[in-house]
Amino acid sequence: MARREASFICQNCGAAYGRWQGRCDACGEWNTIAEESSATARPQMPGRAPRKGRLFALEPLVGAAHDAPRFATGLAEFDRVTGGGFVRGSVLLLGGDPGIGKSTLLIQVAAALARGRHRSVYISGEEAVAQVRLRAERLGLSSASVELAAETAIEDVVATLGDGETPRLVIIDSIQTMWTDLVESAPGTVTQVRASAQALIRFAKRSGAAVILVGHVTKDGQIAGPRVVEHMVDAVLSFEGEGSHQFRILRAVKNRFGPTDEIGVFEMTGGGLREVANPSELFLSERDLGAPGTAVFAGIEGSRPLLVEIQALVAPTSLGTPRRAVVGWDPNRLSMVLAVLEAHCGVRLSGHDVYLNVAGGLRIQEPAADLAAAAALVSSLADAPLPADAVYFGEISLSGAVRPVAQTAARLKEAQKLGFARAVAPEGSGEQAPALKCVGSLATLVAEIAANGRRRMENGRRNSAGG
């Protein structure tokens, strides 16, 4: 008996089922499973021999390596994130909240390429040509030779792009507004988005043009609906920032041709996005000197050192379960630091609400921020301002020890460059800085901060004697 082909496909994650169901077991989404006319499940004609496979040439891995030819845009912060520029025939997905500046960034990228005499095309499905022009005018780019169109039909777009000289860069703003004749569902649905993306990816691979797809983002930070598009493209970039801050951070979430830990920093100004070559200065520009509960963290983002302020507020709670709120850092790491403070340093926080914030809307992923977070927390609890000219970094282990982290020299150099005279760092960080203070355990640091405190910590100092 012939095996029954699964033909119910989750439109969100692509999982296949033999029958319809309301909720996808794989991704947990509701109402995303739809029957697909399965072209793959072609029935075999009885009495006819199966088609013989065509032979194709296999190529050796060595020798034929023409390395991925890239072209840079000239926007250094953008090129840094893509890994040195666009790879020919690659497709990028750029996600971000509405109004964060995706269209602004991309028209600037298109103009930068056009300035380098590369043909770049901007297809907008959301705005009229006049609106795109108006924005370009505001950015002072109206003389750039970017070619514009307001189109949403994918077949027309692909036909137009394939006509004449192949563009170097094609921008599709946004993929959710595009639709193809091949499928029947409405624009913006998962099936449409996937089919449109497929057509554009085929075009990119065939022609060698780099294609950027703009994707909308849902509230929880996912690129709306089609997670599948993320798997289809070569790179996924996300453009982030807080509405109230002017900083914007471009981050690679996935990159087949480059690193994923680099960030590009921009500042949204009246004249568009400005590249920020020295982000530390920007992130520290609004420091509240002398206030308790703030510590400067000397971090590394990708290949670049970055100083950023970590702010903590510890206040007695009026709730049964105290609040723990974190912005810009991993809540699990906060829980861990709080547990270590309690277990090894005698700092009791179970009766306190704890808030932790990374200034400037930056999101930190490094464990090296542990020490700075702990210093900020204790500083707030003890009402003891930390020295304004000190930076902190180091990973805290569950035993309360401060562990060394990578790239110490780069962190210290950046701190020195920005006028910080002191660094509090793990033991064995070397003699790079004259005023480097090495701490072996968190308890030493806590005792020292508390000694300068204006408020006595209710800690009983059971275990905090050691160092």
Question: Smaller CB distance to Mg ion: residue 223 or 358?
Answer: 223
Partner in contact with 305, chosen from ligand TYD, Mg ion, none, beta carbon below 5 to 8 Å by kind: none
Q: How near is the Cβ of 214 to ligand TYD at its closest, in Å? A: 7
Distance between CA 333 and CA 373 in Å, rounded? 10
- Exposure string over 426-460, b if 16+ CB within 10 A, otherwise e: beebeeebeebebbbbbbbbbbbbbeebeeebebe
Residue with token string 């499940």: 41
List 19, 138, 231, 417, residue binding ligand TYD (CB under 6 A): 138
DSSP code of residue 215: E
List 83, 95, 96, 279, residue binding ligand TYD (CB under 6 A): 96
Stretch of 133-141, 160-168, 259-267, 398-406 contacting ligand TYD, by CB under 6 A: 133-141
Chain-centroid distance of CA 398 in Å reads 28
Stretch of 13-21, 257-265, 270-278, 407-415 contacting ligand TYD, by CB under 6 A: 270-278
Two structure tokens written together for 359: 């200034």
**Residue 98 within binding range of ligand TYD, rule CB under 6 A:** yes
Distance between CA 26 and CA 89 in Å, rounded? 31
**Residue 244 within binding range of ligand TYD, rule CB under 6 A:** no
Question: Smaller CB distance to ligand TYD: residue 142 or 303?
Answer: 142
**Residue 12 within binding range of Mg ion, rule CB under 5 A:** no
Beta partners for residue 308, in sequence order:
297
- Exposure string over 294-328, b if 16+ CB within 10 A, otherwise e: bbbbbbbbbebbbbbbbbbbbeeeeeeebeeebeb
Two structure tokens written together for 143: 């003389």
Binders of ligand TYD in range 373-432 (CB under 6 A) = none
**Residue 103 within binding range of ligand TYD, rule CB under 6 A:** yes
Stretch of 115-123, 132-140, 278-286, 444-452 contacting ligand TYD, by CB under 6 A: 132-140
CB 283 within 8 A of CB 363: no
Stretch of 4-12, 59-67, 99-107, 285-293 contacting ligand TYD, by CB under 6 A: 99-107
CB 428 within 8 A of CB 438: yes
Question: Smaller CB distance to Mg ion: residue 94 or 447?
Answer: 94
List 91, 112, 113, 139, residue binding ligand TYD (CB under 6 A): 139
CB 171 within 8 A of CB 105: no
**Residue 124 within binding range of ligand TYD, rule CB under 6 A:** no
CB 403 within 8 A of CB 427: no
**Residue 271 within binding range of ligand TYD, rule CB under 6 A:** yes
Q: Residue 326's closest CA among 307, 340, 313, 345? A: 313
- Which strands sit side by side in the sheet containing 120-124, from one edge to the other? 147-150, 120-124, 169-173, 210-216, 91-96, 235-240, 247-255, 263-269, 272-275
**Residue 251 within binding range of ligand TYD, rule CB under 6 A:** no
**Residue 104 within binding range of Mg ion, rule CB under 5 A:** no
List 18, 69, 99, 467, residue binding ligand TYD (CB under 6 A): 99
**Residue 124 within binding range of Mg ion, rule CB under 5 A:** no
In the bound complex, which residue of the shown chain has the CB atom lying closest to Mg ion?
103
**Residue 125 within binding range of ligand TYD, rule CB under 6 A:** no
Question: Smaller CB distance to Mg ion: residue 132 or 341?
Answer: 132
Binders of ligand TYD in range 206-235 (CB under 6 A) = none
Question: Smaller CB distance to ligand TYD: residue 95 or 346?
Answer: 95
Two structure tokens written together for 157: 């777009």
**Residue 103 within binding range of Mg ion, rule CB under 5 A:** yes
CB 275 within 8 A of CB 74: no
Two structure tokens written together for 71: 């072209």
List 33, 75, 91, 100, residue binding ligand TYD (CB under 6 A): 100
Question: Smaller CB distance to ligand TYD: residue 100 or 405?
Answer: 100
Question: Smaller CB distance to Mg ion: residue 122 or 329?
Answer: 122
Two structure tokens written together for 183: 């499928």
Q: How near is the Cβ of 149 to ligand TYD at its closest, in Å? A: 17
Binding site for ligand TYD (CB under 6 A): 96, 98-104, 135, 138-139, 268, 270-272
Binding site for Mg ion (CB under 5 A): 103
